[in-house]
Amino acid sequence: MPSHIPVLATEVAELLQLKPGDVVVDATLGAGGHSSAILEKISPKGTLVGIDKDEDAIRIASNNLSSFKPQSQLATVVGSYTALDSIFSTATKSWRCGKPDGILFDLGLSSLQLGGNRGFSFLEDAPLDMRFGEAEDLTAEIIINSYPVDKLADILWQFGEERDSRKIAKAIFEARRKERITTTNELVDIVTKAKGGRKGRINPATLTFQALRIAVNDELSAIMSALPIAIELLKPGGRLAVISYHSLEDRIVKNIFRDAAKNEIVKLVTKKPTRPSFVETKNNPRSRSAKLRVIEKI
Ligand SMILES: C[S@@+](CC[C@H](N)C(=O)[O-])C[C@H]1O[C@@H](n2cnc3c(N)ncnc32)[C@H](O)[C@@H]1O
């Protein structure tokens, strides 16, 4: 399984302006890459609450971060960042640490999930699952095999901006009438044929997989509801950093930040998003599309 290299880790740690003793929420803990860089800055006597929907990620991160425990307070919680405020207050109840100085969202999925036989990747044959956390009921297999053709096409168009959304939805509908579609390889074949075969460097199923993952995990609604909660939770002068990986996510982040700045609740720390350096994109191709936006609560 590939290890996860945190994206824009130096920039996040610098722009959050952290110092020893600070309180931070990592809303998307993953393998704990960013949290490790954050704990370096806030230890000793720092407090970190890490949240992830994925139990495997929580287990791996807890293990990776255990060396910080003697110097800092650390809680790792399985849950959704849409419940950030209640997770934070429950986790820190006995610590009396005050509100967070910094909150980080590193959106999307981790390399651990991409390589984890969970149906996220079009490069590996796996069951069509795509759930970040096992607590959810909806899987990609359910969407593919039971949604009406129009709803399928809408998902591909809205969450993947896939131009051939109708063609692909119709091909899925025809295929599932013969036999239930259960694996990523089956789906890749159907999409590739519907799009007239493989043409360029990019896999024809790329946008279909992105769209299904977003739909399965209701990702865009989750971001829309969680960011205002995060802004509310921050202490005055505290900073919120969000890394997004495609235009649908970035548009939501940009609009919420712009509106909060207009209402003088926050000020924009990054007027334009921070992008990874050339060296980072060479060393970690996953970082290529990353955009980091940061605000400070007034
Ligand atoms: C890009 S990874 C984070 C990687 C992490 N920053 C690191 O350095 O290892 C995104 C993580 O967010 C998690 N995630 C996605 N949606 C979530 C939600 N609504 N609540 C909590 N975690 C979520 C995923 O399970 C995944 O582990």
Q: Which CATH class is domain 122-217?
A: mainly alpha
36 CB near ligand 1 (under 6 Å): no
101 CB near ligand 1 (under 6 Å): no
C-alpha 270 to ligand 1 mean position (Å): 22
CATH 1.10.1530.10 fits 9-112+219-297, yes or no: no
Residue closest by Cα to atom 10 of ligand 1: 109
C-alpha 50 to ligand 1 mean position (Å): 10
Predicted local distance difference test score (pLDDT) of residue 16: 98
Specify burial of residue 21 (Cβ count, 10 A radius: 0-12, 13-18, 19+): middle
CA–CA gap between residue 266 and residue 283 (Å, rounded): 34
213 CB near ligand 1 (under 6 Å): no
| pLDDT one digit per residue (tens) for the chain, 298 residues | 456 799 999 999 999 999 999 999 999 999 999 999 999 999 999 999 999 999 999 999 999 999 999 999 999 999 999 999 999 999 999 998 999 999 999 999 999 999 889 999 999 999 999 999 988 999 999 999 999 999 999 999 999 999 999 999 999 999 999 999 999 999 999 999 999 988 888 899 999 999 999 999 999 999 999 999 999 999 999 999 999 999 999 999 999 999 999 999 999 999 999 999 999 999 999 999 999 999 999 9
30 CB near ligand 1 (under 6 Å): yes
If we measure between CA atoms, which residue out of 72, 176, 183 comes closest to residue 121? Answer: 183
CA–CA gap between residue 62 and residue 256 (Å, rounded): 31
The counts of H helices and E strands in the chain are 13, 7
Token digits for 134? Answer: 């096992």
Query: Residues 6 or more apart from 64 whose CB is under 8 A from it?
Result: 31, 32, 36
Q: pLDDT for 179-214, tens place per residue?
A: 999 999 999 999 999 999 888 888 999 999 999 999
Specify burial of residue 16 (Cβ count, 10 A radius: 0-12, 13-18, 19+): buried
- Specify the amino acid at residue 108: G
If we measure between CA atoms, which residue out of 119, 124, 117, 111 comes closest to residue 142? Answer: 119
Domain ranges of the chain: 9-112+219-297, 122-217
Residue linked to tokens 């293990």: 63
Q: pLDDT for 91-143, tens place per residue?
A: 999 998 999 999 999 999 999 999 889 999 999 999 999 999 988 999 999 99
C-alpha 213 to ligand 1 mean position (Å): 13
Residue 94: other Cβ atoms inside 10 A: 8
Looking from the CA of 74 toward its CB, the CA atoms found within 13 Å total: 24
Predicted local distance difference test score (pLDDT) of residue 1: 46
Residue 224: other Cβ atoms inside 10 A: 14
C-alpha 107 to ligand 1 mean position (Å): 6
End-to-end Cα, the chain, rounded Å: 42
Predicted local distance difference test score (pLDDT) of residue 96: 83
Whether a cis peptide bond, with omega within 30° of 0, leads into 148 is no
Helix (H) or strand (E) holding 105: strand 102-106
- Closest-lying ligand 1 atom to the alpha carbon of residue 26: 6
C-alpha 199 to ligand 1 mean position (Å): 32
Task: Work out the angle at residue 220's Cα, subtended by the Cα atoms of residues 215 and 221, and round it to the nearest 5 degrees.
Answer: 100
Edge-first strand order for the sheet with 266-268 is 73-78, 47-52, 23-26, 102-106, 239-244, 291-297, 266-268
Q: Do 9-112+219-297 and 122-217 agree at the fold level?
A: no
C-alpha 170 to ligand 1 mean position (Å): 32
- Closest-lying ligand 1 atom to the alpha carbon of residue 4: 9
